[in-house]
Structure 1
């Protein structure tokens, strides 16, 4: 928006003023919002008009209307100010009781659903101004090595698209800080009264129709790898993109679905489901909270790691 020579005469407060006027659509209301006089707003707008070589706002009986150029600048200015506010908030001593930061966490839904309730309850008590965004993570299709299966999560962390990723892996690249939250295995969920609950054998299992959680629709997962090692396979009748949806479908069908044990303990009863142990050994997963090592200099991020660990401890071990 400004070239290098312009930056020497730029005033960040003018961008704040621009934001207020374009959002309020009125000089007087913008002045009230910024706690300055309408005259100061008008003088600031004059400086902006000279700097940007555009009228920016046209007066009307009801206020002001943004020009096409002003509308074009509104999104970049909002982004610039958001970044500046983020830098300033992280530069100040972090006080969770007073902070108004937003943190973005990435996790598979079968993981975020385990820690989120306890995390929100603790935030309400000790950090009421902090907001959380959750984005769903699922592994790359066809990748079995954890470092490659979760590479998109690692890329997003380094790009600061999210603050912390929680991934089911203990194999974390050395450039990241990681903390083990808990260990998890999978159980088989089905509707109450299902025949498999009475006879949970491997032979019965492979004869059933199965529901598989897969973001991209790939029906082949770690359960199938375990079956193939025994020369067996199963019918994957349906794939759905997340575990909560899988529970809803399983509650209204005869399909079986493998789900994380802690997740099942919390949510399976809500959908009228029962669970049994898998009829063959399945891998256990270490749930690791991960962030770039350089990012851990942020006191707020370090605090959030502790909050995540506490939230998982509140839930207790699977089955408790």
Structure 2
């Protein structure tokens, strides 16, 4: 198909429908009538030979062809918009609005306190919103522009995403102060025989701990299984259970819950924690500023040095 056969306004309408999924909302945004939107959509359907959107609960639902078309159209329009509107700079002190970050419950404990503190000082008009990767389709939400960044161990974010490695997360053993293991060597036998609290965190890569142990035939006495990390401190504080958790989470929990952390008797593979964003916001100045804040706060200095010396910096790594 020749590009001359496509009206740019039809592609803008297509992108708005992908984002909003409601004809009435798109009509209002584009200063059109609902019949006008329907007529324009019908024209685009004829041009592309696909229904593009069908009726669904509360709005319209894109067809598989429309989903395949969404990212290339969004990137092309973003590139054209950037070319026609040279950047005037992002001023965090004057910026207003809400930025949304996808992260795990671990991320909320490890990242949010420092991040909220920094934004209060440097961008007081920006509010933060977080979503759990298990509560939404994070890939679609980021592609549609409803989530700006994601932080964590998120292997499901693949094609169309840029990533920046922040650090490699080690795992440690965590238990209450005064536990029998507090003053004794943490041998593999002692670790195996202790009662374990195990977190099964669906949708994240932290399940690799259990996979790694199973592959090597390492058995644990699992006494309690929970679906998230938020209850770990409360449970360990009042029981003799131990837990194998990411080190940065353990450091955050140790003081408020009177817990001790020890190196594991057997080294588990470290978990690579990434900052991820969709290609559609690669050149967005507000998104770039927020990425810079996250990198400044949480990226290991050693990782930053290697990135600048390498053949290709991590923040240009398109997955």
Alpha carbons of structure 1 residues 136 and 315: separation in structure 2 relative to 1, 3 Å: farther
Moved over 6 A (4+): 314-317
- Which residue is 2:282 aligned to? 296
Compare 221-230 and 119-128 and name the one that shifted more. Answer: 221-230
Corresponding residue for residue 107 of structure 1: 103
Please report how far the alpha carbon of residue 297 of structure 1 lies from its aligned counterpart in structure 2 after TM superposition. 2.4
What is the deviation of 1:235?
Answer: 2.7
Shift of 1:137: 3.1
From the CA coordinates, give the structure whose radius of gyration is larger: 1
Write out aligned runs for 1:185-224 (5 A). Answer: 185-197=170-182, 198-215=184-201, 221-224=207-210
Distance 1:222 1:169 in 2: 12
3-state SS, counterpart of residue 266 of structure 2: coil
Cα distance in 2 for partners of 1:174, 1:284 equals 23
Say which SS state the counterpart of residue 218 (structure 2) adopts: coil
Structure 1 unpaired stretches of 5+: 11-74, 77-90, 140-150
Distance 1:249 1:178, change over 3 A: same
Task: Please give the alpha-carbon distance, in whole angstroms, between the structure 2 residues aligned to 1:121 and 1:157.
Answer: 24
Q: CA RMSD in A?
A: 3.7
Q: Quick one: structure 1 residues 285 and 224, their matched pair in 2 at CA, closer, same or farther if it must change by over 3 Å?
A: closer
> Distance in 1 between the 2:272 and 2:214 partners?
23
- Distance apart, 1:188 and its partner CA: 0.7
Q: Report the counterpart of residue 264 of structure 2 in structure 1.
A: 278
Find the aligned partners of 2:257 and 2:197 in 1 and give their Cα distance. Answer: 15
* TM superposition score normalised by structure 2: 0.62
Q: Describe the shift of the 1:127–1:316 C-alpha distance in structure 2 as closer, same or farther (beyond 3 A).
A: farther
Residue matched to 2:252: 266
Write the distance in 1 (CA, Å) between the matches of 2:285 and 2:143. 18
Find the aligned partners of 2:173 and 2:294 in 1 and give their Cα distance. Answer: 27
CA contact (8 A) 1:192 1:272 kept: yes
Instruction: Show the counterpart of 1:96.
Output: 92
Aligned to 2:152: 167
**Rounded Cα–Cα distance in structure 2 between residues aligned with 1:224 and 1:296:** 35
Q: Are the equivalent residues in 1 in contact too, given 2:167–2:300 (CA < 8 A)?
A: no
Aligned to 1:14: none
Question: Pick from 130, 134, 137: which aligns with 2:133?
Answer: 137
Question: How far 1:8 sits from its partner (Å)?
Answer: 5.1
Distance 1:114 1:3 in 2: 39
Shift of 1:299: 1.0
Deviations 1:131-175 (A, max 9, x none): 001223359xxxxxxxxxxx9432332233311111226896352
Q: Distance in 1 between matches of 2:26 and 2:252?
A: 55
State the distance in 1 between where 2:88 and 2:200 align.
42
Shift in alpha-carbon separation, 1:2–1:277, aligned structure 2, 3 A:
closer
CA contact (8 A) 1:217 1:239 kept: no
Please tell me whether the aligned partners of residues 172 and 178 of structure 1 are also in contact (alpha carbons under 8 angstroms). Answer: no
Contact 1:96 1:126 (C-alpha < 8 Å) held by counterparts: yes
Please give the secondary structure, in 1, of the residue aligned with 2:111. helix
Q: Secondary structure at the match of 1:124?
A: helix
1:91-127 C-alpha deviation (Å, 9 max, x unpaired): 9853211111101111122233222222112111111
Distance in 1 separating the partners of 2:231 and 2:164? 29
Structure 2 unpaired stretches of 5+: 1-23, 35-57, 60-86, 304-319
Matching residue of 2:233:
247
